[in-house]
């Protein structure tokens, strides 16, 4: 799995939605499935090298973090951990925390889809997206 330190050389724009930025703050059965046990026999940490906050200073380009405040899968603190590291590293990024949203955003899904498209239109195409476009609804004059 690639992390910021590796992908920053390739991606100009990234969006992390409901991101599990550090497996040490998530369910042990998820990370251990792919990375084995948290601690190695020599007492080193299997997960530290892949924790996004350890690579925050290497970020280049644009990054948009999106997370539901009621996420019952990945705790919202994971997004805040990444945001804190980015701020300490003096990096510019965008953060959107959704009140009353769980892991897949529920009623906010159309809004997130538009915000995702707007982000790519602005930072990949260099264009200005239509203001407050509503997906699935005709624009009101």
Q: In the chain, what are the domain boundaries?
A: 4-125
Residue 72's pLDDT band (boundaries 50, 70, 90)? very high
CATH of domain 4-125: 3.40.50.1820
SS3 for 127? coil
Q: What is the pTM of this model?
A: 0.82
Which neighbouring-strand residues pair with 96? Answer: 66
Q: What is the mean pLDDT of residues 63-76?
A: 96
From residue 5, give the alpha-carbon distance in Å to each of 25, 51, 88, 93.
Answer: 20, 10, 16, 16
> CA-CA distance, 26 to 20, in Å (whole number)?
7
More confident residue, 130 or 27: 130
Handedness of CA 54, 57, 61, 64 (dihedral sign): positive
């Amino acid at each position: 799995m690639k992390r910021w330190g590796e992908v920053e050389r390739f991606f100009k724009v990234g969006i992390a939605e409901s991101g599990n930025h550090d497996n040490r703050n998530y369910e042990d059965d998820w990370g251990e499935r792919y990375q084995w046990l948290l601690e190695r026999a020599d007492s080193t940490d299997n997960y530290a090298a892949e924790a996004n906050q350890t690579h925050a200073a290497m970020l280049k380009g644009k990054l948009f973090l999106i997370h539901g405040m009621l996420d019952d899968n990945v705790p919202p603190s994971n997004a805040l951990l990444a945001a804190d590291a980015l701020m300490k590293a003096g990096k510019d990024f965008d953060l959107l925390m959704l009140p009353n949203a769980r892991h897949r955003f529920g009623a906010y899904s159309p809004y997130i889809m538009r915000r995702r498209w707007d982000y790519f239109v602005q930072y990949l195409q260099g264009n200005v997206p239509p203001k407050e476009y509503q997906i699935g609804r005709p624009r009101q004059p």
